[in-house]
Chain A
């Protein structure tokens, strides 16, 4: 195919062959024959497959033509790497190689004092410090997210006695590190990709889990010099609208969220390692008995031998399974514990126990906010009144309350 031009094929939507919105291309090949290719994008188990549903040969585009449907499946896999063990090249080197430095205990104590002096506690940022004119909430605002640790799973019950499996997420000591304004973010590599055809938004860099500066390199600690915070083990970026900007060093807690709201959780799935075809792709394998020789969990045939005469890209085979970025969308928050900074979320979350996840307001259109949430984030009341420690969703049975009678 030499040149292809995109055309409108909406007339085909009525056909039952095309349940998903197809896109059409008109191509001219070397024999000057005009082809109308209707492609349907099909998601097939974690890989992007472009499936050519039909190739139709037309004599001319203007006159009505006979449609010869020649169903031909073409499978190509996008060649994007699914996982890497090294960070991207623009990140600074993070962890220090621990040298066996023989420091005397006095000197160690001195080093610790220096660190304490350098990172003396800052006064917490109050809500009144922020200028309020820009901070009106509207339904199109995107607030910051939060870094949390998946502590485990707890069973809770609703008011009608139905059991609900809830994931417990512990919001770590989050602090905003810096804000990247929309114009600057759109120039960066990731920002350019994300905002190629959209209006650019800003980016908040949030850090969690303060640690001893000794374990990190100087370049990594310099990221936190402006803010004056202890270097954080984990960093994350959250895309925010300019009216939801937070000043650096603002703490983010569990109160940032509202009980009953829907939330998206991003995490890396459980790493299963190198797995066979039965566990990885759900193949049935072979018979366990009846004389099957060495064919119990194998894949079987990997091609026809005729078409293309090779193994096609995307052929399902054993390989590394898990440790992939995934989002769980629309999970409902059923309980927030303000004292321990813990959120209980209905359902399960990608990743094993004690792994780090990112939580942010859902992008599912029907479950977004109708009323204003704590915007841009939650600040404890300045008159010293403590908030309610344990907030439950109205649907949930509180453990200290009497037993349910149906």
Chain B
């Protein structure tokens, strides 16, 4: 499989753990419906791997491989003409500075989140919006995500820039993943799949080490749709029940050779060695920030008691 060829660049142990944790997102053929858990997952989640020493004998701390999914905006835009190491380094410093002030938690498309933004036109001067994350993108300080909700029978989508200083708070109410990377089909789905109560409470997860994958299959409204969903290999959608000619045309238009195109994959991603360097750079600071926040939270609960 193509992805396995890419993975072999990682070291053996890391490759196995990361493949197991993110099996659904990687393999297109096997779709597992239960969150995968192994005994060593719980340990590996937040513990960094220690690389076996270099010739000098110093141990080099390497970030865990999950970082490329937890913090994808630290990876720069792969287009080679616009890359510059110094600029990326300075941008990362700025991103970490902003993260030290506001907690930007780990989230994926399919997670339900609440964002509080400073708004001059609101009565409280703050506007809070709850919604499901349908798409996320951008790199560096331009990273953004879109939250969708249905308010008073009107579908509403808001694009938030993650590092905008107007954002006061980002909470993840339900941390989970869906079967697709982009949930734009929720626009053509029945409204109940996009409705979330605006006063939703954050849900506590029983198992902190693994992010659950919600195998929900969404029902779409009758046609016309905004996009040709039958051409997009969507896993999270129920059977579309279209006449056969749609599927025939989809086959004609499909590009099945793309999954074998190594150069296309190479151009779309940052090489593994560079990813390791980037996350090693950023890893210790992120850990420190998380630790400080945990202490603050514990102190907060102690004070309440």
Contact = CB atoms under 8 A, between A and B. Distances in A.
Contacts of B163: 155, 399
A152 interface: yes
Contact of B87 (A151, A352, A397, A406): A151
Interface residues of B, number: 30
Contact of A404 (B82, B84, B100, B166): B166
Given A168-B90, A352-B81, A406-B120, A400 B164 contact: no
B165 A170 contact: no
Contacts of A170: 86-87
Nearest to A342: B90
A403 B90 contact: no
A48 interface: no
A397 B164 CA distance: 10
A401 B90 CA distance: 17
A186 B119 CA distance: 59
A403 B126 CA distance: 12
B250 to A, nearest CB: 24
B125 interface: yes
A340 B87 CA distance: 10
A239 to B, nearest CB: 30
Given A399-B97, A400-B97, A403-B118, A151 B164 contact: no
Interface in B72-105: 81-84, 86-87, 90-91, 94-95, 97-98, 100-102
A371 to B, nearest CB: 29
B141 interface: yes
Contacts of A337: 90
Interface in A381-406: 397, 399-406
Contacts of A353: 81-84
Interface residues of A, number: 25
A215 to B, nearest CB: 22
Contacts of B166: 157, 161, 403-404, 406
Given A151-B84, A170-B86, A399-B94, A157 B165 contact: yes
Contact of B84 (A152, A401, A403, A405): A152
B127 to A, nearest CB: 10
A353 B142 CA distance: 17
A353 B77 CA distance: 13
B140 interface: yes
A152 B77 CA distance: 12
A353 B81 CA distance: 7
A325 B120 CA distance: 44
Nearest to A161: B166
Given A353-B82, A401-B101, A161 B140 contact: no
B168 interface: yes
A354 to B, nearest CB: 6
A402 B87 CA distance: 24
Contact of B142 (A155, A354, A403): A155
A315 interface: no
B118 A151 contact: no
A403 B167 contact: yes
A88 B211 CA distance: 64
Contacts of A352: 81
Interface of B: 81-84, 86-87, 90-91, 94-95, 97-98, 100-102, 118-120, 125-126, 140-142, 161, 163-168
25 contacts: A151-B87, A152-B82, A152-B87, A154-B87, A155-B161, A156-B141, A161-B118, A161-B165, A161-B166, A168-B87, A337-B90, A340-B90, A342-B90, A353-B84, A354-B81, A354-B82, A399-B94, A399-B95, A400-B101, A401-B101, A403-B166, A405-B126, A405-B168, A406-B118, A406-B120
Ranked nearest first, the 10 interchain pairs of A and B with the lowest CB-CB distance are A399-B97, A151-B87, A400-B97, A406-B120, A161-B166, A152-B87, A151-B84, A406-B118, A353-B82, A404-B165
